Structure formats: structure tokens, C-alpha cells
Amino acid sequence: MRVAVIGLGTMGAPMAGHLLDAGHEVTVHNRTRERELPLAERGAARAATPAEAAAGVDAVLVCVSDTPDLDAVVFGADGVAQGLAAGGTVIDCSTVSPSATAELAERLAAQGIGLVDAPVSGGSEGAENGTLTIFVGGSPDHVERAQPILQAFGKRITHLGPSGCGQMAKAVNQVMIAGTYATVGEGIALAQAAGLPLEQLMEALSAGAASSWVLANRAQNMVDDSYPLGFKVSLHRKDVAIALDEAGRLGLDLGVSQVVLAEEDDLIGEGHGDEDVSALARIAKRRSVRP
């Protein structure tokens, strides 16, 4: 397929690489244009604007930070909507608002363009290895057309309903991992304070009921008190806010998520917003570990 990829950050760049490996005809565009170069060396065409990238392709994959960024890339000046022909599909792998996604889908549908929301889970490792879990929303015909693209970097792809349902599922995912990051951090703070042998403890924990992706992939950051990316605190904070907003609309009060949101606000205020989310352990440690 002819596919454009817009947003070549931690997640988008390896997604574009997998699309090239799978034999698709790929055009890339990134706001910071230098980020296009490694993909151009691997055979991708470069485009100066989202509209130029979208001209003449079957689908446009977008992976940018937040809802206003998606809106700007699709409907801004020189946006995707000005380049993509009717019948084309926009596949959004960013994590953004489910409600805004449903509205965006309506605006695109007025131009004959389909929107498939396809937020992902599995971290930077999942993007590099092409093993992401993908939560999908959209009309069945456009979801079907998006499959060859999603299969290039997704291991489990689940269609959950119309536009916005993929993003709502991702909000559920982010609520669940919010508590996990926070409590794995607390557990490590407790283990360090108690002087337990951490390497053996991690092996034991991972074989029992405390096992989780966060424990397997991010506990070492917390042990080392070093938080390289991964997934930025600021991006997870954005996701928790999305989930709380949707929960509020549904009359729900998500207490643990509120606590994690406040902790992430503290981290961002202290200058840790660009660290990996495992930096939540900083807060657990300073509350719990004896000097």
C-alpha cells in the first residue's frame, strides 16, 4: 500500500520502519524535519507538509502527542485533510481524546475520508519489535483497509466498535497502568528500605501474582533511580487526564488515577516530565525510603 507516516517520535519512527520492512511504499513527514532522514536512508520518500505527504496515498498514519496536535496535523494549514483524496483512510496511533476522535471522524467523513483510531500499548520496545497491542475504533470497511498497515507493527489488533472506541479502550489501559507504575514504585521503595536482595526479589515477584509488564520492563529503572525513555511522564499525565475527563462524563470518580495525576503534576513541576513514567518511583521513594 501507499502510506504516509506523520509524527516520527519514539513510536512513529519504528512504525514507519516496520512499514518499509513489510514492503509498503512509505512517505514520511515530521515537524522537526531531520527526524525524517534515517527513514529516507531506508527508502522512504520525504514530504514537506502533512498535505504533501497525504497526496496520492491510500492511508495516512499519524502518531503525534496530544489531541490538539492531531487536530493541527489533520485540519491545520497544509493538513492531511487538504491532501488526502476521498476514499482514503486516516489511521491515528496517537493516544488522544475518545470524544474528540468521534468528532474528527465526522468531519473527515464529510470529505469521504475514513478515520480509524488505533492507539497502541506495549511501550517503545513494542514499537521497535513490532509487537504492539492495538485498540481499534472505526467503521468495519476502513478498519479492514487499515489491517495490512496495523499488522506491520501490531501483534494483537482488536476492533472494539465505532470511532472513539479504540481511544476509550486505551484510556482503560492507561488507568490500569497508572496504578501499576505507582505501586511497583512503592513496592521497590519498601524493598530497598527493608534491605532485601533486589535481583532475587525481582525474579521471585515476576513468577507470582505481582508479575506485570511494568515489573518486567521498568522495575530496574526504579531500582537504579534512573528513568530513561520509554514513555514520557508528561504523555502519561495527558492520558490519565483524558481518562478522568471521560470518566467524569460517565459519572465515575477514579480515585487512584486522581492520585497518580497529582503525582505526575508534581514530577512535571520538578522538571521530570520528559523522564520515563517509571519516575513515579521518585515520589514513592522520597515518601518511603529512610535516608
Which residues are catalytic, by number?
170
Mind giving me the DSSP string for 202-267?
HHHHHTSTT--HHHHHHHHHHHHT---SSSBHHHHHHHHHHHHHHHHHTT---HHHHHHHHHHHHH
Total residue count of the chain as it appears in this document: 291
Q: Contact 70/64 with Cβ under 8 angstroms?
A: yes
Phi, psi of 146 (to 5 degrees): -80, -15
Which residue of this chain has its Cβ atom nearest to ligand NAP in the complex?
9
Residue type, 18: H
Q: What is the C-alpha separation between 61 and 150, in angstroms, rounded? A: 9
List Cα–Cα distances, 253 to 9, 176, 242, in angstroms. Answer: 33, 14, 13
User: Closest distance between ligand NAP and the C-beta of residue 65, in Å?
Assistant: 4
Of 227 and 231, nearer to ligand NAP (C-beta) is 231
Q: What is the C-alpha separation between 134 and 96, in angstroms, rounded? A: 14
Mind giving me the DSSP string for 43-67?
T-EE-SSHHHHHTT-SEEEE--SSH
Strand, helix or coil at 284?
helix
Of 117 and 239, nearer to ligand NAP (C-beta) is 239
Q: What is the C-alpha separation between 192 and 190, in angstroms, rounded? A: 5
User: Closest distance between ligand NAP and the C-beta of residue 96, in Å?
Assistant: 6
User: Closest distance between ligand NAP and the C-beta of residue 205, in Å?
Assistant: 22
User: Closest distance between ligand NAP and the C-beta of residue 68, in Å?
Assistant: 7
Of 58 and 66, nearer to ligand NAP (C-beta) is 66
Is the four-CA dihedral 207, 209, 213, 214 of positive or negative sign? negative
CA angle 110, 115, 26 (to 5 degrees): 120
Of 171 and 235, nearer to ligand NAP (C-beta) is 235
Of 185 and 192, nearer to ligand NAP (C-beta) is 185
Residue numbers at the binding site for ligand NAP (CB under 6 A): 7-12, 30-32, 35, 63-65, 69, 72-73, 94-95, 120-121, 123-124, 230-231, 235, 239
Of 189 and 227, nearer to ligand NAP (C-beta) is 227
User: Closest distance between ligand NAP and the C-beta of residue 212, in Å?
Assistant: 15
User: Closest distance between ligand NAP and the C-beta of residue 236, in Å?
Assistant: 7
